[in-house]
Each structure stands twice: as C-alpha cells, then as structure tokens.
Amino acid sequence: MAAKHPARTFRIAVIPGDGVGREVTAAGRAVLDALAGASGGAFAFDWTEFGWGCDYYLRTGRMMDPGGLEALKDFDAIYFGAVGWPSVPDHVSLWGLRLNICQNFDQWANVRPVRFHPGVVSPLRKADEATLDWVVVRENSEGEYVGAGGRNLSGRGPGSEVAVQTALFTERGCERIMRFAFDLARTRPHKKVSSVTKSNAQQFGMVLWDEAFARVAADYPDVESESVLVDAMAARFVLRPEDLSVVVASNLHADILSDLGSALAGSLGVAASANLNPGRGFPSMFEPVHGSAPDIAGRGVANPVGAIGSAALMLDHLGLPAPARQVRAAIDATTARGLLTPDLGGTATTDQVVAAVTAALPS
Ligand code: GGG
C-alpha cells in the first residue's frame, strides 16, 4: 500500500547555533515530529539544518553564509537555538546571526509570553495566590538595537577613545508594534496594554514613543492602557504582576524585562519567543529566550521547555492552534509531575523531559 502523504508539509529552517542551542532545537524537533506522526497525516515537517554560529565563524570569519538570507527566505519558518560563545565577541556573534536575520527579515514583533508552569516554584510568593500570565511585546527592529553609532579618537591614545550609540525611534516603528500589542490584548481575558517608557530622562525618542502610544490607545477604547516608567515596571513585575496582561516596550527595555519575567516564572530556560514578520513577506523565527549557556552545554541537562514552547508558538503561526495547545498542555503535564531539569531544582535530563512531553501528547 502506498504511504499516505501529509496534507501539509511545512518547510522549516533550523539554526541550532551555539552551546545548548543544539540540544534544545533537537528537543523541539523531536516533539514536533511526534506530534506530526500522531496527526493522522494532517501535517508534517521537513527540516533543513544550517550549521551557522560561532564554530562556523572560527572556520570562515562569518557567522552565517553570505547567501544565508537568500537561502532562508522561502522557508515557512525558522527554528532557532541560541547564539554566543566565549571564543567570539558577543557583539560579533549577535549581530552576525540573530540580529542579521531579525532585522533583514523585518521581524519587528518579538512576542515573549511569561508563563508560570504547574510544579515549577517561582521566587514570587504571589505566584501561589494569583494566576499570573502576561506577554512582553518587544519592538524588534529599531530603538536601542538599530546599530547606529561609532567609535573614534583612538589616535588620542589609550583611555581617550569615545563611543556613541544612538537609539532610533520612528513613528511608524512605534505605532506598528503598539497596534500589534493592542490587537493581542483584544484576544486576552484581561484587555490591557502597559507601555514601558523612560521619557522623563530620554526626552526625544521616548517622548515620541509616548505620543505614538497615546494616539494608538485612542483607537482601542475597549482596551485599558497605561504608560509606566521602565524602573517602575521592573518593580511592578515583582510586586503586582497580577495587574499585567500585555506589556509593550522598546527593544532593550523589553529584552531586560522579559528576562526578569522568565526568572520570576522559575528560570530563563522556560521562556519561549517568536520573532514575527506579521506581513508574512519573510519567514518568522522562533527561539527560546535563553542564550547558549556555555557552562552546561553538551551535558544533556539543558531545559528544553523554552524551545518546545517556541515550537508551539511556531505552530500557532503556521495555522495550527489546536496542536500548539496540545504541546503547551504536554509541557504543563510534564512540569506538574515534577519532571524538571536542574535549573528548576530537578534532576531530569533534556531527553527525559522530551520523552515525558512526547508521551503526554494525544496519541
Ligand atoms: N535564543 C536567544 C539568544 O540566543 N539570545 C542571545 C542574545 O544574547 N540575545 C540578546 C538579544 O537578543 O538582545
């Protein structure tokens, strides 16, 4: 009998990158392949792996192939691990790979849910009393990450060099990420957007950010809105997180706040993210929030939850919301059993977590 072909095969580019990126992307792929296998032929994944990253840089002087963006552009999505290794300066590895892809593919919305998993102890006492669940929406194309600036005056000798690093805020860039945040808030039980600012000190870019937020908020009278200074928002994450639903912030502010959010949810290892090109002119990219973790790389103990959760976000993007929910439920069933990697205080290996998540999927 001829083999049944899946109704839809998604072409996914995989960039494991550095360190634990390799272990956690393998974990996410295993879970998605198991899900596809159980889908009764409804969908399948065709993975193409690209071995770019710091090892590649040390061999070739580049973080990715010069034709890499061209090679990636027709995939349905990109599944990314992590970037960074001690033998390559961090700004070289980050700009050469992750930012190169995010910025050239105009993945301007970085969605970083803060999810509290059953069985995972949070450093927040509140987590035992309230249901905590919010999303950080990171402006992912400009702001402090626009890469504008330079270094000069090295001729004056050691200790006299200067550096300028400029942030760029555009009305278009601010408005589109804010509309994205409000549209997302409309899909959530608590319809609220909190904008993160620092306009008291940064009187140009952040004031433009605030003005854009006020304009966009006026178009969403059904969604509650507020503007909060970034320092106050850091405190809010710890003291009143139950007030949060969607938090929209600039590239740098959101990067820092989302790490705080994942630490409050138990570990950086559990945080998932999606770098979205909402217009779908380019592929979007899905990656755990955590980096390459050189201290534990290759030991088989990396937490795969963030990468598996990112795979679930990829399923949502591919138009498979029900399988995405199944993956999230399987993660929760696994953590609820106490099957946790060492970053969460457990003793489970990456493979044991993958086996448990896979076993918890509907057969
Ligand atoms: N998987 C995420 C990752 O590898 N991040 C590396 C990193 O250093 N990111 C900093 C940033 O994107 O702001």
pLDDT in tens, 202-246: 999 999 999 999 999 999 999 999 999 999 999 999 999 999 999
Instruction: Examine the domain organization and report whether 127 and 256 are in the same domain.
Output: yes
- Scanning 149-194, the segments in alpha helix (DSSP H) are 171-186
Of 334, 329, 356, nearest to 344 (Cα)? 334
Last residue of a domain, one of 233, 264, 295: 264
Residue at 23: amino acid letter: E
Instruction: Examine the domain organization and report whether 272 and 207 are in the same domain.
Output: no
**3-state percent helix, strand, coil for the chain, nearest multiple of 5:** 40, 20, 35
Residues 6+ apart with CB under 8 A from 72: 13, 50, 78, 101, 105, 283
What is the average pLDDT value for the chain, to the nearest integer? 96
Asked if residue 74 has pLDDT above 60, the reply is yes
Indicate the top mutation candidate among 20, 91, 94 to test ligand 1's pocket, ranked by most ligand atoms within 8 A of CB: 94
CATH number for 31: 3.40.718.10
- CA 249 to chain CA centroid, Å, is 14
Asked if residue 344 has pLDDT above 90, the reply is yes
Q: Are 264 and 281 in contact (CB under 8 A)?
A: no
Q: Are 331 and 35 in contact (CB under 8 A)?
A: no
Is residue 198 part of the annotated active site? The answer reads yes
Q: Are 186 and 221 in contact (CB under 8 A)?
A: no
Q: What is the pLDDT of residue 16?
A: 98
Is residue 191 part of the annotated active site? The answer reads no
Is residue 255 part of the annotated active site? The answer reads yes
Q: Which residue puts its alpha carbon closest to atom 10 of ligand 1?
A: 94
Total structural domains in the chain?
Answer: 2
Residues 346, 349, 352, 354: is their CA dihedral positive or negative? Answer: positive
Residues 6+ apart with CB under 8 A from 147: 95, 99, 103
Q: What is the pLDDT of residue 4?
A: 59
DSSP assignment letter at 208: H
The mean per-residue pLDDT over the stretch 186-208 comes to: 97
Instruction: Examine the domain organization and report whether 178 and 203 are in the same domain.
Output: yes
Centre of ligand 1 to C-alpha 95, Å, is 10
Asked if residue 1 has pLDDT above 50, the reply is no
Question: Cα–Cα distance between 64 and 80 in angstroms, integer?
Answer: 13
Instruction: Examine the domain organization and report whether 257 and 276 are in the same domain.
Output: no
Rounded percentage of the chain residues whose pLDDT exceeds 90: 93
91 is a domain residue: yes
Structure tokens at 171: 């009305």
Q: Which of 198, 316, 332, 343 is catalytic?
A: 198
Burial profile 145-178: b = 16 or more Cβ within 10 angstroms, e = fewer: bbeeeeeeeeeeeeeeeeeeeebebeeebbbbbb
118 is a domain residue: no
115 is a domain residue: no
Q: Which residue puts its alpha carbon closest to atom 7 of ligand 1?
A: 291
Q: Which residue puts its alpha carbon closest to atom 13 of ligand 1?
A: 255
As to burial, measured by CB atoms within 10 angstroms (0-12 exposed, 13-18 middle, 19+ buried), residue 310 is buried
300 is a domain residue: yes
Indicate the SS3 state at residue 143: strand
Instruction: Please compute, for residue 274, the number of CA atoms within 13 A of its CA located in the half-sphere on the CB side.
Output: 22
Last residue of a domain, one of 234, 264, 294: 264
Is residue 259 part of the annotated active site? The answer reads yes
Q: Are 244 and 207 in contact (CB under 8 A)?
A: no
276 is a domain residue: yes
Instruction: Examine the domain organization and report whether 23 and 147 are in the same domain.
Output: no
Ligand 1 first shell, C-beta below 6 A: 82-84, 94, 98, 255, 287-288, 290-291
Q: Which of 79, 145, 316, 332 is catalytic?
A: 145
> Which pTM value belongs to this model?
0.96
Last residue of a domain, one of 264, 289, 322: 264
64 is a domain residue: yes
Atom of ligand 1 nearest to the CA of 252: 13
Instruction: Examine the domain organization and report whether 167 and 202 are in the same domain.
Output: yes
Instruction: Examine the domain organization and report whether 255 and 276 are in the same domain.
Output: no
Centre of ligand 1 to C-alpha 289, Å, is 7
Rounded percentage of the chain residues whose pLDDT exceeds 70: 99
Q: Are 327 and 288 in contact (CB under 8 A)?
A: no
Q: How many CB atoms lie within 10 A of CB 318?
A: 19
Instruction: Examine the domain organization and report whether 86 and 162 are in the same domain.
Output: no
Atom of ligand 1 nearest to the CA of 255: 13
Instruction: Examine the domain organization and report whether 253 and 147 are in the same domain.
Output: yes
Instruction: Examine the domain organization and report whether 220 and 141 are in the same domain.
Output: yes
| pLDDT tens-digit readout, 135-169 | 999 999 999 999 999 998 888 888 889 999 999 99
| pLDDT tens-digit readout, 38-63 | 999 999 999 999 999 999 999 999 99
| pLDDT tens-digit readout, 237-292 | 999 999 999 999 999 999 999 999 999 999 999 999 999 999 999 999 999 999 99
34 is a domain residue: yes
The mean per-residue pLDDT over the stretch 331-337 comes to: 98
Instruction: Examine the domain organization and report whether 96 and 199 are in the same domain.
Output: no
Q: Which of 255, 316, 332, 343 is catalytic?
A: 255
Instruction: Examine the domain organization and report whether 133 and 103 are in the same domain.
Output: no
Write out the residue range of the structural domain in which residue 55 sits: 7-110+267-363
Atom of ligand 1 nearest to the CA of 82: 4
Q: Are 245 and 188 in contact (CB under 8 A)?
A: yes
Q: What is the pLDDT of residue 313?
A: 98
Is residue 79 part of the annotated active site? The answer reads no
133 is a domain residue: yes
Structure tokens at 5: 């072909």
